[in-house]
């Protein structure tokens, strides 16, 4: 019997086929198959852009409150 440490952590085996994984540098998640890494990174970018936009709105609101 093999332990989890002995298994290959960079591939998943489904129906006797090995699918290679890609590791996201942003969050460390393993993405199966590798072709899904680009959409995964796009979601990271969009989430970051949304966060920056919301933060900017909050900063503008706080600046207006200070001036009043």
Q: Where are the alpha helices (DSSP H) in 1-68?
A: 37-67
The residue with tokens 């900017």 is 56
Q: What is the pLDDT along the chain (68 residues), one digit of tens a residue?
A: 344 444 555 666 667 777 788 999 999 999 988 889 999 999 999 999 999 999 999 999 999 999 87
- Residue 44 backbone dihedrals phi, psi, to 5 degrees: -60, -45
- Residue 12's alpha-carbon distances to 8, 37, 65, in angstroms, are 8, 15, 54
Of 23, 54, 57, 16, nearest to 37 (Cα)?
23
């Amino acid at each position: 019997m093999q332990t989890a440490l002995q298994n290959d952590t960079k591939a998943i085996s489904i129906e006797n086929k090995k699918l290679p994984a890609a590791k996201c540098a942003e969050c460390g998640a393993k993405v199966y198959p590798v072709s899904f890494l680009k959409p995964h990174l796009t979601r990271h970018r969009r989430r970051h852009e949304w966060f920056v936009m919301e933060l900017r709105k909050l900063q503008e609101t706080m600046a207006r409150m200070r001036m009043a």
